[in-house]
Amino acid sequence: QLSNAASKMAEEAAGHKFRAPVRLVKTPDDMERWFKSQAYADYVGFIRILNHAVMGRTIGDDIAASPVIGKLVAMLDTLSRWVDEVPPIDQPQRFGNKAFRLWSDRVRDNAKELIGGLLPDELQDAEQELEPYFLQGFGNATRIDYGTGHEAKFAAFLCCLMKIRVIQEEDAAAVVLRVVTKYIALIRNIQSVYRMEPAGSQGVWGLDDFQFLPFIWGSAQLMGHTKLEPKSFIDESVVETYADDYLFMGCIKHINKVKTGPFAEHSNTLWGISGVAEWSKVNSGLIKMYKAEVLGKFPVIQHFPFGTILSLEQAS
């Protein structure tokens, strides 16, 4: 479905009129329009393309990648360097360090150049449409928080790049294993340095305070693994051994680092997942949960902008 849409858009790219995307889901009644939209079909299709591409692969695998993957990684390295250059400030509040706003300002001031560097000459006009997804992919500078809605915006940014054929479908594994891994490392550093609050956290009943997609793609990586079963991630020594190879294990390692107390108490939903027999069932269950708990929630989608690449028009 995404391939067909991308082919059509690539054919039309020369004369295509890009425009800045705007929020269109303004009341809970508008959610039905979102579920039936081309944007929803393309975004879920993108999640599934990447999911399929990383099945049975480790982060260290030698994988095909076009030059844009290297450019995306370099861009995220630049943003990481800026975190080092914008240290937290002394303030009375423990959480939400206001230096994050200075970092966000720098990203915003350089966004046109950062995104333009990824695009060929004939697609430079797409920058205005890509920029809001990109800028909203690192958290909210006013509230100094980050959650799965912000993660979804960065994924939407990557989805848009695939839809306009800047990222090729054969890059799908590299998008997860090179770009998303770098993005997650950056986000964890931002959360730690600037003491970000979780946005819309469900606490103990949520999957994770900040992320969701790495659990989906990380469970896909583990499908068919001869030794590691879902129950394996409860064992901290196993997690330590495999955290650099599998996104799912890396997520669990991070949770073990930032949370205290029994795992079953602070991460009840994940504890339940450890009881599932096979990774394929974990993977399909997580995709279903993502569609319900993130894509199905009005408080998340009301902030989602729509343009010509991700359109709220009814899916064809």
Condensed to tens digits (0 to 9), the pLDDT of residues 201-223 reads 665 557 888 999 999 999 999 99
Q: What is the mean pLDDT of residues 231-250?
A: 95
Q: What is the mean pLDDT of residues 217-236?
A: 95
Segment 27-67, tens digit of pLDDT = 999 999 999 999 999 999 999 999 999 999 999 999 989 99
Least confident of 214-223, 241-250, 259-268, 282-291: 259-268
Cβ atoms of residues 69 and 182 within 8 Å: no
pLDDT at 11 over 70: no
Segment 140-199, tens digit of pLDDT = 999 999 999 999 999 999 999 999 999 999 999 999 999 999 999 999 999 999 999 998
Per-residue model confidence (pLDDT) at position 57 = 98
Residue 100: pLDDT band (50, 70, 90) is very high
Per-residue model confidence (pLDDT) at position 158 = 98
Per-residue model confidence (pLDDT) at position 316 = 86
pTM of the full structure: 0.95
What is the rounded distance in angstroms from the CA atom of residue 48 to the CA atom of residue 36? 17
* Alpha carbon separation from 275 to 34, 122, 268 (Å, rounded): 33, 51, 11
Phi and psi of 270, rounded to 5°? -65, -40
pLDDT at 6 over 70: no
Q: Which two tokens stand for residue 200?
A: 């819309």
pLDDT at 14 over 60: no
